[in-house]
Each structure stands twice: as C-alpha cells, then as structure tokens.
Amino acid sequence: SQTIHQWPATLVQPVGSPLSLECTVEGTSNPNLYWYRQAAGRGLQLLFYSVGIGQISSEVPQNLSASRPQDRQFILSSKKLLLSDSGFYLCAWNLQGPDTQYFGPGTRLTVL
Amino acid sequence: EDKVVQSPLSLVVHEGDTVTLNCSYEVTNFRSLLWYKQEKKAPTFLFMLTSSGIEKKSGRLSSILDKKELFSILNITATQTGDSAVYLCAVEQYGQGNLIFGKGTKLSVKP
C-alpha cells in the first residue's frame, strides 16, 4: 500500500534562516506531487506541483521554491524565511489529476 | 490513532438527486471540521464547522456537525453535473493545528 511521509512534523525557525521540508511517497511510481499551505483553518493554497522528476510548476510566486530530485521525493525550500511563511504545510500525491489526492501528515512551521 | 473516515468512497447519481456524504472522526484535541471540493489541482474550501447542531448552508450545499457522535454530513440537493468531484473532509486539531484528511468521496452526477 502507498504511504506518504513528511519531515519534520514541527519546525521553529528564525526569520532569515533557510528552510527545507521533505515529502516522500512509498508504494507507487511516477506520482503527481503537490505542496500546499493551509491558511487560517480554512482554505488550502496550492504552492507547487510536479508531474515528474525535475518538473515543477509554481502556482503562487513567493519566497519559496520546490524541487523533485527523485521520483518519490518532493522538497520545499527557502533561502531566507519571512514571518509570513509561518503556517501548516501539506504534501499530497495522486497518480492522475484530477483523481483524489492523498495528503501527508503535514509540517507546522513557525517563523519567529 | 487519529483518523477521519469518509463514506461512501464513491457514489454515482443522476441530476436532480439529493446526496448525503458522511464523515466520521476520532481525533484528539478537535478544533474544527472542514469540507473541501476537489475538481482540478487544488481542493476548494466549502465549510468550516466548529459547533454541534448548527447547519452551514451555501446554495444547494449544507453541512452539519455532531460533536457528541463525532460525525458530519454534507448534503447536496438537486445535484448537477458540475457537482461531480471528490469531496474531502478534514479535521483540524488544536495545538499543532494539524489537518487530518479523510480519503474522500468521489461523486459522479450523470445527466
């Protein structure tokens, strides 16, 4: 069966520091991968999605970037964090859009 | 273990039918329950429920939460083909503010 992991679960970082959040999927091949940020207990904002290794589409221009160095690995990064980057970040996968996406456990990022 | 269970997993109806989607949960530090509609890349927000027994309504969609029995339902009346989508339920926790998602209900509305 397929599983999705996110690391770390919680992170507290100072303003201006770098960021690296990791998402890995097991039990499937060539998944579509997604990074979301949850805003204020309501909507999910799609940040990046990827249909294959090295293929990244950015939905919202901002202080973050994403990379897909391996088929089942998706990384969200920043060179210098801002206070506004605080939030709950979710990774998701599916095999074909718009099929159901399966969400990881998320990472709670606090920037101080 | 915290979990959110949606039922049914898939559903096929005809236009004009009324459907009820179910979401039950066993989650510590419950804060709110959210419903999303997923059609394309990203889910779109429908409702956030925090109190039992208070129905939230938006057009033909409505939802209610029962915090005693730990479930929520999403009703769609007079369904249209545009309602075809995957409907996701998620529970938000206090503290870390984590979101725990169900696996979704895939609704197909036939003309």
pLDDT single digits (tens) B40-85:
667 888 999 998 999 999 999 999 999 999 999 999 999 999 999 9
**What confidence score (pLDDT) does residue B22 get?**
97
CB < 8 Å to B101, chain A: 102-103
Inter-chain touch A41–B45, beta carbons under 8 Å: no
Which chain A positions have a beta carbon within 8 Å of B103's beta carbon? 100, 102
Q: How confident is the model at residue B94 (pLDDT cuts 50, 70, 90)?
A: confident
CA distance to partner chain A, nearest, from residue B33 (Å): 9
Q: Does pLDDT of A42 surpass 70?
A: no
Long-range CB contact pairs, B11-14, < 8 A, 24+ = B11/B105, B11/B106, B11/B107, B11/B108, B12/B108, B12/B109, B12/B110, B13/B79, B13/B107, B13/B108, B13/B109, B13/B110, B14/B79, B14/B109, B14/B110, B14/B111
| Residues whose CB is less than 8 angstroms from the CB of residue A61 and which lie 6 or more positions away in sequence, other chains included | none
- A88 CB near a chain B CB, below 8 Å? yes
Q: Give 3-state DSSP helix, strand, coil % of chain B, rounded to 5.
A: 5, 60, 35
The pLDDT of residue A7 is above 90: yes
Mean pLDDT, range A23-27, rounded to an integer: 96
Query: Does residue A74 carry a pLDDT above 90?
Result: yes
Chain B positions in Cβ-Cβ contact with residue A36 (cut-off 8 Å): 42
What share of chain A in percent tops pLDDT 70? 91
